[in-house]
Amino acid sequence: MEVVNKYVSLKHHVNGYPSESDFELATTPLQPAPGSGEVIVKNLYLSIDPYQLNRMKRYSSSHTTCPAAAQIEPGQRINANGVGRVVSSGRAELEEGDVVAGMLGWEQYTVVRPGTVLMKVDAKDLPLSCYASVLGTSGLTAFAGFYDVCKPKKGEKVFVSAASGSVGSLVGQYAKLSGCYVVGCAGSKQKVDLLKGKLGFDDAFNYKEEADLKSALRRYFPEGIDIYFDNVGAAMLEAAVANMNSFGRVAMCGAISEYTNAGERAAPDLIDIIYKRITLRGFLVLDHLHLHEQFSAATSDHLRRGRMISLEDVSVGIESVPTAFVGLFRGDNVGKKLVRVGELEG
C-alpha cells in the first residue's frame, strides 16, 4: 500500500482571529514502516476545537503547560482528536478494519506512533461521530468539568455559556440529568431554540440581544447561580460572578472570547469572590482521564436510552477543515464541529 496523504497545516502563526488564508493543504506520500510498531489510520471524523487557536499563536503561556497544548509550527501536521479505521497495524491488539478513536490529525491518514493511546470502538453500537464528540474529549471535558470540578448537588442552579457548543451542550444535559436547574446562553435565536427545545435546558438566551449581561443573569437566575460552567470568559464571567450565590463554583473550561483578543479580559469583582467564597478553577481534561471508564459507560447508556443527544455540526472533506475551524470563532457551528474526511467503507 502506498497512498498520498492530504493534510492541513499553518502558513504562519496566528494572532487574533484566524482566517482561511492562515492555512494551506499539503500532500505527502505515506508508507507503512514494517516493524516500527506504527499504526496507520484512515481518518473518518476529525474534531475541530477552539483550543487549537492557542497552539497556533506565536506566543501563549499555554504552550509549555502540557504536551496537548504544545505550539504548532508552520508547515507541521496538526494533531487533533478523531475517529478512524486501521489500515495497517504494527500493534498486536489492533488489526486492519478496526475502528479507533484517539489523537489523530487534521489529515486524511495518520501514522500513529507506538505509545499513543488508540481506543477500539464498536462501530455497530453508536454512530461513529459520537467518538469524536460526545464520547470523545469534548464529552469527557464536560463530564469531568461538571462532576469533578463543579461538584453539583440536586436542585442547584447552573449557568452554561457557549451552551450550544461541543462542551456546553453536554454540560447542560448532564446538569438536567442530575436534577439541576440549567440556563444556557448562545449567540443566535436558532441556538437558543435548540437549547430549550431539543436539549432540554430550562431556559436560554441570546447574549447578543442583552445590553447588560449582569441584569440578564439576574432575570434568569432570581435565586442566584450556584455553578457557572465558563467557556467564554470576559464580560460573561464578570456578570456570572456578580450573580453567584455563596459557595458558588466556576469551572474555567475555556475563554473563547479571549482567545482571539489578548486585550479582552474578565475583571470580576473580588469583593464578590471573597465574601461569597466563590471558587474559580481552571481545568484541563487530561487531569481527569481516570474518569474515562465511568464517563464512557454512563454517557453511552444515556445515548442509547435517548436521555442525551449528540448535537453535531459536520462538514465534509479535508479541504473544509480551515473553514470549519475559523467558523468556531464566528459562532457558525451549532453543536460539536466535526469534519468527515473519509468513509468507513472503501
Among residues 189, 208, 281, 290, the one that binds a copy of itself under rule CB under 8 A: 281
Contact call for residue 151 and a copy of itself (CB under 8 A): no
* CB closer to a copy of itself, 179 vs 282: 282
- Calculate the alpha carbon distances from 178 to 1, 137, 251, 275, 316 in Å: 50, 21, 17, 28, 35
Question: What is the rounded distance in angstroms from the CA atom of residue 140 to the CA atom of residue 297?
Answer: 11
Among residues 4, 26, 33, 66, the one that binds a copy of itself under rule CB under 8 A: 66
Contact call for residue 287 and a copy of itself (CB under 8 A): yes
Contact call for residue 266 and a copy of itself (CB under 8 A): yes
Question: What is the rounded distance in angstroms from the CA atom of residue 305 to the CA atom of residue 285?
Answer: 26
Cell of 251: 469551572
Among residues 25, 69, 298, 334, the one that binds a copy of itself under rule CB under 8 A: 69
Question: What is the rounded distance in angstroms from the CA atom of residue 257 to the CA atom of residue 142?
Answer: 19
* Residue 95, number of CB atoms within 10 A of its CB: 11
Among residues 284, 298, 309, 334, the one that binds a copy of itself under rule CB under 8 A: 284
Contact call for residue 217 and a copy of itself (CB under 8 A): no
Contact call for residue 255 and a copy of itself (CB under 8 A): yes
Distance in Å, CB of 250 to a copy of itself, minimum = 9
Nearest-Å Rg of the Cα atoms of the chain is 20
Contact call for residue 258 and a copy of itself (CB under 8 A): yes
Which residues ranging from 28 to 57 are in contact with a copy of itself (CB under 8 A)? 54
Question: What is the rounded distance in angstroms from the CA atom of residue 5 to the CA atom of residue 111?
Answer: 10
Contact call for residue 265 and a copy of itself (CB under 8 A): yes
Contact call for residue 270 and a copy of itself (CB under 8 A): yes
- Are 326 and 33 in contact by the 8 Å Cβ rule? The answer is no
SS3 content of the chain, % helix, strand, coil (to 5): 30, 25, 40
Residue in the structure block whose three cell numbers are 435517548: 306
Side chain identity at residue 10, one-letter code: L
Distance in Å, CB of 282 to a copy of itself, minimum = 4
Contact call for residue 278 and a copy of itself (CB under 8 A): yes
Contact call for residue 122 and a copy of itself (CB under 8 A): no
Contact call for residue 126 and a copy of itself (CB under 8 A): no
The angle that helices 234-242 and 213-220 make with each other, rounded to 10 degrees, is 50
Say how many residues touch a copy of itself, by CB under 8 A: 38
SS3 state at 135: coil
Distance in Å, CB of 274 to a copy of itself, minimum = 4
Contact call for residue 280 and a copy of itself (CB under 8 A): yes
- Are 253 and 229 in contact by the 8 Å Cβ rule? The answer is yes
The DSSP secondary structure of 142-167, one letter per residue, reads HHIIIIIIS---TT-EEEESSTTSTT
Contact call for residue 4 and a copy of itself (CB under 8 A): no
Question: What is the rounded distance in angstroms from the CA atom of residue 35 to the CA atom of residue 103?
Answer: 21
Distance in Å, CB of 7 to a copy of itself, minimum = 26
Which residues ranging from 225 to 254 are in contact with a copy of itself (CB under 8 A)? 233, 237, 242, 246, 252-254
Distance in Å, CB of 180 to a copy of itself, minimum = 22
Which of these segments, 166-174, 192-200, 262-270, 306-314, binds a copy of itself (CB under 8 A)? 262-270
* CB closer to a copy of itself, 1 vs 271: 271
Backbone angles phi, psi at 284, to 5 degrees: -125, 145
The H-or-E segment that residue 214 falls in is: helix 213-220
Contact call for residue 70 and a copy of itself (CB under 8 A): no
Contact call for residue 17 and a copy of itself (CB under 8 A): no
Residues that bind a copy of itself (CB under 8 A): 54, 60-62, 65-66, 69, 233, 237, 242, 246, 252-255, 258-259, 265-284, 287
